[in-house]
Structure 1
Amino acid sequence: MTATLIPATLAFRDDGTPFSPRYGDVYHSPSGALEQSEYVFLRGNHLPGRWQNKRVFTVLETGFGMGVNFLATWAAWRADPARCERLHFVSTEMHPFSRDDLRIALAAVVERTARADLADLAHALADAWPMLVPGTHRLEFEGGRVTLTLAFGDALEVLPKLWLRADAIYLDGFAPAKNPELWSPPIFKALARVAGEDCTFATWSSAGDVKRALQQSGFEYHKETGFGDKWTMLTGRFAPRWRVRRHEPPLPVALDERHAVVIGAGLAGSALVERLAARGWRVTLIERHAEPAREASGNPAGVFHPLISRDDSSASRITRAGFFYALQRWAALDAAGHAPSRTHAGLLHLATDDEAQAVAAALESFGYSDEFVRGVSREEAEAIAGTSLAQGGWFYPLGGAIDPASLCRAQIAAARALPGAQIDVRYGVAVARIERDERDEVSAEKAGSWRVYDDAGALVAQAGVVIFANAHDASRAAALDFAPTRNVRGQLTLLDASPLASLRVPVIGDGYAVPLPDDVTLVGATYEVDDTDTTLRAGGHTENIERVAQMLPALDALRDASSDDQERRGRVALRCVTSDRLPMIGQLGDEQAARHDAQRLSGAWPLDLPRTPGLYGAFAFGSRGLVWAALGAELIASQLEGEPWPIERELVEHLDPARFLQRALRLRAL
């Protein structure tokens, strides 16, 4: 269960040095914050020299604090003409500052340094600062070339859950005597799991316990002259004399060319195109329809919001991370001139008595900010909604509704607009099968790449990576036996001259109502498992109206007339879902290899499973594609590039397309 996040308290000593009352220690040396960062962490890790001319370089930090180490690293990267293409900075923080306190703290640092470049970076960091909720937050700067991944929570808990390959480690935080947990052996053991070859570290501390914990975890250290009033500091590298980990940290996929075929141009596929293009990939997008978003992604509107649960379940944590990341990506589309059509006034969730009690307990337990979610009475909810409601519930100020098709088009357009973009879109092409090209000769494509054939048997594309983002057809096209998905028929209803014309925000509960232009209200939707009939049914309209009328009494008149022989507008789409209601995101398992080695793999964990080289999936998003698609695309792009994963590894395992293969192995059902 996620612990409540307690923000830091900002205080200053008489000499102006930021101070933590909780730990009784300063945030940086009185001799200067930026100077300490540059001397201890940059110089101590031989930066910027070590990142020069590399594609990706990753820094891992224990204790983000005020973010000065990040700003110093970002500034050095900016000033280096031979800098790496993409800089990743990953940091943990148990007590993050509020945005306002962070601005104050960084303003003091900037004033002391009198560096205009640092002021610009400090403003950018504060502007992008995430909401203080537990979990992993990914922020992007410099057009995505500098990425900050913040893990809010106790480092003892969150650090072992991160998955990355660190090139440099900044051991920072309050003094070992003040915060011994951050310098304990479990922390260094977690660092050893993710340290890459030639990974270096630096720290201002030279305490004996720190030196012993470093050695025990496979690091070798050297004492050097310290900064300011510190006599000595430690630098060193990861150089284990024995095996200290079961799995090697992630590496980029080995390809002659970074070229991917994405099958499906709905929410999942269009997000993948944008995330891969942002990293310079050549992408071939194949869609069987004549335009994007013609299946479930083609509904007139869809709602987006987090998921609150009393135990902060895995689904809640994944959805929360996806919600915040989606908002970031949509804001970036807005800024780039590719704004999708969406609402900005929030979303109301009306609850039954049992739901209200559970959510109220969760809100009290986790102490979420009102800007994230807040409980509302019926009277408060009605004031927000602009219409009468049957009960209260809770309000998501950042939730709302979006036109999914406009989002898909925006992402594809943004990808095509990138400098040097290589995006080839093939509409009207139905993928029938793929096969591995096992030729030995070297061609324009990597030998052993995947060949994609249409339903007429013609070769339509070939690449080292194929990503299935085509919902119901993914398992068939990828020839998967252990990727069980089901179709769920969803019929929605469009109410013209709607009695809910005054509705200001989307309202959800046992059904949903979304205000559309021209006094139209979208209500829905039915949930009919294993029903693939896409014709509109009068009974479906009746069901939608009756269910939503229980939440919004203004529809009572229509409910009474819902059995009349009148034609209503609507749409039917088929959702693709799994038995655990979580999507399939990541590299596909090699089922044939698993069968051959089933006995040994009966106790396998996800990282133990054999994988099919170059095949990935992003499907079975059910009704949460809007909040999962961008995060799923970022996860797959990170896996391909060997970058830090955007969410905790344990959550990724819940999304793993091979999780059902793993279950079958454990049940010896192969």
Structure 2
Amino acid sequence: MTESLLFAPHDLPVRWRHERIFTFVDTTFSAFLPLWQRWRDDEARCERLHVVAIAQPNALNEPPSADDPSPLAAELARAWPVRVPGVHRLEFDDGRVVLTLAIGDDVHEMLAKLWLRADAFHLDAPDDPRKLCKTLARFAGDGATVCANASPAHRPTLRRALASSGFDCSPDATDAPLVARFAPRWRVRRHEPPLPCDAGAREAIVIGAGLAGCAVSSRLAARGWHITLVDRHAVSARDASGNPAGVFHPIVWRDDSVAARLTRAAFLYALRRWRALEDANHELHRSGAGLLQIADTADDADALAAAIARFAYPSDYVQAMTRADASRIAGVDVARGGWFFPRGGAISPAAVCAAQIDDASARITARMNTEVTRIEHDGRIWRAFDASGGEIASAPVIVLANAHDAARLAGLYGEPTRSVRGQLTVLDSCALDPLRMPVIGEGYAVPLGAGGTLVGATYDIDDPDRAIREAGHRENIGRVAGMLPDLALMPGTVRAGRVAFRCVTSDRMPMIGQLADEHAARRDARELSGAWPLDLPRIPGLYGAFAFGSRGLVWATLAAELIASLVEGEPWPIERELAEAIDPARFLLKALRHGEISPASCG
């Protein structure tokens, strides 16, 4: 299709002129490059262009080649994602052009899994378009346009399906795509698609300057927000984010579970954001040799090898390893086989935090050595207060990224988070000196060069003790020796230890998103007994990013992008099912569904 036929039905670029956000959905994965070029050529373009493209996995087989006539093809090729299913978010032109690429075997089923407000749709219609048209109606913004390719035999069916879903179709012409505009004469959807939060000023308070808070500050600042970043410590990354190194990797299960899909999306997005920081000359102390995971048992190694083959994961994502292969690439003897993540590794959490703050320093005001004891909302503005009752900051949006304290400040239902004490150990010269890369499994071992070898960590639930324990060091060494047997023969001496406290939930999933209005939910408990997440009342301007457990490095960046997308009303960077699995309101929702909350029990 020529560019004139592609864009004329959508009246581009006129419709995006002077708009903040314009979202174009394309199920053919053919519009991105010409649309990006047209956006670049338009001086009155929208501030942010979102292109949501849906494609099958084979669309990732070959990136754009040097022969592609588009001058932007090389930039897209450099950002080309790994060939794995799920949602990949790629950013160009300093983040002002965003390609959200959703990869799945069934294009139209994949589209239905997303959540967004669209201004224009370009699509190839299936033989039976009724489900597709209902999906378009769920996503369509006011006046959204549709340009659909359909065979002559299926055009009447498509016109009827569009009309019944609230679209007005233009007069038919069999030699041109079918064109329609969203103009419902009646209510056609249960929930409105995403809209930006009602904030007069683009200002936010972020409480907590660890991995979560620094990432949120960075992603909001990239969209032009001014951030007041508050932390009780003198500098960022002092709690669990202050460990000398942390490992990052996706997870692979025998089935492609919600946890595996979420961690895959978070891992790949974190890599892109870290590379952008490194391209801006920030040193993150990231290792480059990959990461090896040792199976708990030989049967697990065999089962995961079979799963890797069944899912056809590419070798640059994960590789199954026999014991011999794993020992060879690790540089030390390993107890069992496992799997190797070429893009995994270790990184300095504190360096990541510092780089994110520095990169957005013009838009971040840091309030360190400041503890927030109370937050308050007057219906329009959030205010944060210290122990003496003094106001620390005010803004229309507030994000709780302060781990253990977030649930208290928000007053969340049912005490959903717990504290886990983690003690790590740094070893001097030992049997692991030849180790070439981080190794994880029952524990973890990270080579620190001249700094020794980091091993850990204990997992002590609800243990508040901050003291270093010799028993903790022995536990760490013993656990790692179960993966790397030579450590039992030459454990080395303990150079240092550190205790930090992780925040976890009962389902071990993080709390990321907009917080529910629990008072309103309790009042309407009977009506909400069969509720879905989108049915719950939400507190305007209150968001959370906490309870990351031991996966803060992997989850923090995607969490920040999801929250920034929620605030701005942009397409979500993951499938809605995954966002619901980490919704801070999920425990409240479960209690409502099980009848554990009733209006009579509300105070």
TM class by shorter chain equals over 0.9
The 3-state SS of whatever aligns with 1:573 is strand
Deviation at 1:202, TM superposition (A): 1.5
Match of 2:458 among 522, 526, 534: 526
Asked if structure 2 preserves the Cα contact closer than 8 Å seen for 1:483 and 1:661, the reply is no
Does residue 280 of structure 2 align to residue 348 of structure 1? no
Distance, in Å, in 1 between the alignment partners of 2:439 and 2:494 is 24
- The one-letter code matched in structure 1 to 2:88 is H
Partner of 2:88: 137
- The one-letter code matched in structure 1 to 2:526 is Q
Partner of 2:35: 73
Report sequence identity in percent: 57
- The one-letter code matched in structure 1 to 2:360 is A
Does residue 416 of structure 2 align to residue 484 of structure 1? yes
Does residue 118 of structure 2 align to residue 166 of structure 1? yes
- Once the two structures are superposed, the pairs formed by residues 159-238 of structure 1 within 5 Å of their partners are 159-172=111-124, 180=126, 184-205=129-150, 207-223=155-171, 231-238=175-182
Match of 1:398 among 343, 346, 350: 343
Asked if structure 2 preserves the Cα contact closer than 8 Å seen for 1:305 and 1:627, the reply is yes
Structure 1 residues 435-485: Cα deviation after superposition (integer angstroms, max 9, x where no partner):
1235xxxxxxxxx20110012221100011110000000011122234510
Distance, in Å, in 2 between the alignment partners of 1:168 and 1:646 is 18
Distance, in Å, in 2 between the alignment partners of 1:519 and 1:556 is 20
Asked if structure 2 preserves the Cα contact closer than 8 Å seen for 1:483 and 1:658, the reply is no
Distance, in Å, in 2 between the alignment partners of 1:200 and 1:213 is 15
Distance, in Å, in 2 between the alignment partners of 1:232 and 1:318 is 40
Partner of 1:102: 63
Structure 1 residues 105-139: Cα deviation after superposition (integer angstroms, max 9, x where no partner):
x72x51xxxxxxx22x1111111111110101000
Distance, in Å, in 2 between the alignment partners of 1:668 and 1:339 is 51
Match of 2:109 among 157, 168, 177: 157
Deviation at 1:143, TM superposition (A): 0.6
Q: Which moved more, 1:496-505 or 1:304-313?
A: 496-505
- The one-letter code matched in structure 1 to 2:499 is V
Distance, in Å, in 2 between the alignment partners of 1:147 and 1:583 is 25
Does residue 525 of structure 2 align to residue 598 of structure 1? yes
Deviation at 1:98, TM superposition (A): 3.9
Structure 1 residues 538-589: Cα deviation after superposition (integer angstroms, max 9, x where no partner):
0000001011111112211345x8xxxx765110111100000000000011
Structure 1 residues 624-643: Cα deviation after superposition (integer angstroms, max 9, x where no partner):
01110000000000000000
- The one-letter code matched in structure 1 to 2:121 is I
Partner of 1:622: 549
Deviation at 1:406, TM superposition (A): 0.6
Partner of 2:44: 82
Distance, in Å, in 1 between the alignment partners of 2:335 and 2:112 is 46
- Once the two structures are superposed, the pairs formed by residues 254-403 of structure 1 within 5 Å of their partners are 254-351=198-295, 352-403=297-348
Match of 1:436 among 374, 377, 387: 377
Match of 2:55 among 93, 98, 121: 93
Structure 1 residues 404-449: Cα deviation after superposition (integer angstroms, max 9, x where no partner):
1111101111111xxxx321001100000011235xxxxxxxxx20
Q: Which moved more, 1:634-643 or 1:497-506?
A: 497-506
Distance, in Å, in 1 between the alignment partners of 2:276 and 2:474 is 40
The 3-state SS of whatever aligns with 1:603 is coil
The 3-state SS of whatever aligns with 1:164 is coil
Does residue 344 of structure 2 align to residue 412 of structure 1? no
- The one-letter code matched in structure 1 to 2:307 is A
Partner of 2:471: 539
Deviation at 1:370, TM superposition (A): 0.8
Gaps of 5+ in 1: 1-35, 111-117, 439-447
The 3-state SS of whatever aligns with 1:657 is coil
- The one-letter code matched in structure 2 to 1:614 is G
The change in CA–CA distance for 1:519 and 1:278 in structure 2 (over 3 A counts) is closer
Distance, in Å, in 2 between the alignment partners of 1:275 and 1:163 is 19
Asked if structure 2 preserves the Cα contact closer than 8 Å seen for 1:584 and 1:618, the reply is yes
Does residue 422 of structure 2 align to residue 471 of structure 1? no
Asked if structure 2 preserves the Cα contact closer than 8 Å seen for 1:171 and 1:202, the reply is yes
The 3-state SS of whatever aligns with 2:4 is helix
Moved >6 Å (runs of 4+): none
Deviation at 1:356, TM superposition (A): 1.3
Does residue 600 of structure 2 align to residue 638 of structure 1? no
Distance, in Å, in 2 between the alignment partners of 1:327 and 1:430 is 32
Distance, in Å, in 1 between the alignment partners of 2:49 and 2:116 is 13
Deviation at 1:275, TM superposition (A): 0.2
The 3-state SS of whatever aligns with 1:171 is strand
Deviation at 1:263, TM superposition (A): 0.3
Q: Which moved more, 1:77-86 or 1:213-222?
A: 213-222
The change in CA–CA distance for 1:88 and 1:567 in structure 2 (over 3 A counts) is closer
Does residue 385 of structure 2 align to residue 453 of structure 1? yes
Structure 1 residues 363-422: Cα deviation after superposition (integer angstroms, max 9, x where no partner):
122010111001111121122111111122110000000111111101111111xxxx32
Does residue 362 of structure 2 align to residue 424 of structure 1? no
Asked if structure 2 preserves the Cα contact closer than 8 Å seen for 1:498 and 1:519, the reply is no
Deviation at 1:360, TM superposition (A): 1.8
The change in CA–CA distance for 1:53 and 1:362 in structure 2 (over 3 A counts) is same
Deviation at 1:340, TM superposition (A): 1.1
Distance, in Å, in 2 between the alignment partners of 1:275 and 1:567 is 39
Match of 2:9 among 24, 27, 44: 44
The change in CA–CA distance for 1:37 and 1:171 in structure 2 (over 3 A counts) is farther
Deviation at 1:158, TM superposition (A): 1.2
Partner of 2:79: 128
The change in CA–CA distance for 1:224 and 1:144 in structure 2 (over 3 A counts) is farther
Partner of 2:502: 575
Match of 1:556 among 488, 506, 511: 488
Aligned-pair Cα RMSD in Å: 1.6
Asked if structure 2 preserves the Cα contact closer than 8 Å seen for 1:501 and 1:519, the reply is no
Deviation at 1:224, TM superposition (A): 6.6
The 3-state SS of whatever aligns with 1:73 is helix
Distance, in Å, in 1 between the alignment partners of 2:545 and 2:101 is 24
Structure 1 residues 216-275: Cα deviation after superposition (integer angstroms, max 9, x where no partner):
2221111476xxxx7233222012223221101010001110111000000000000110
The 3-state SS of whatever aligns with 1:84 is coil
Q: Which moved more, 1:510-519 or 1:423-432?
A: 510-519
Q: Which moved more, 1:611-620 or 1:352-361?
A: 352-361
Deviation at 1:519, TM superposition (A): 5.5
Asked if structure 2 preserves the Cα contact closer than 8 Å seen for 1:330 and 1:339, the reply is no
Deviation at 1:507, TM superposition (A): 0.4
Q: Which moved more, 1:236-245 or 1:455-464?
A: 236-245
Asked if structure 2 preserves the Cα contact closer than 8 Å seen for 1:512 and 1:525, the reply is yes
Gaps of 5+ in 2: 598-603
Deviation at 1:208, TM superposition (A): 2.5
TM-score, L = length of structure 1: 0.86
- The one-letter code matched in structure 2 to 1:244 is V
Distance, in Å, in 2 between the alignment partners of 1:203 and 1:530 is 57
Structure 1 residues 23-78: Cα deviation after superposition (integer angstroms, max 9, x where no partner):
xxxxxxxxxxxxx34222211100000000000000011121xx3x1111101100
Partner of 2:600: none
- The one-letter code matched in structure 2 to 1:161 is K
- The one-letter code matched in structure 2 to 1:102 is P
Asked if structure 2 preserves the Cα contact closer than 8 Å seen for 1:486 and 1:530, the reply is yes
Structure 1 residues 286-344: Cα deviation after superposition (integer angstroms, max 9, x where no partner):
01000001000001111100010111110110000000000000000011122311101
Number of matched pairs: 592
Distance, in Å, in 2 between the alignment partners of 1:308 and 1:375 is 11
Match of 1:512 among 444, 452, 473: 444
Asked if structure 2 preserves the Cα contact closer than 8 Å seen for 1:37 and 1:72, the reply is no
TM-score, L = length of structure 2: 0.95
- The one-letter code matched in structure 2 to 1:554 is D
Partner of 1:16: none
- The one-letter code matched in structure 2 to 1:501 is D
The 3-state SS of whatever aligns with 1:102 is coil
Asked if structure 2 preserves the Cα contact closer than 8 Å seen for 1:40 and 1:203, the reply is no
- The one-letter code matched in structure 1 to 2:327 is E
The 3-state SS of whatever aligns with 2:275 is helix
Partner of 1:664: 591
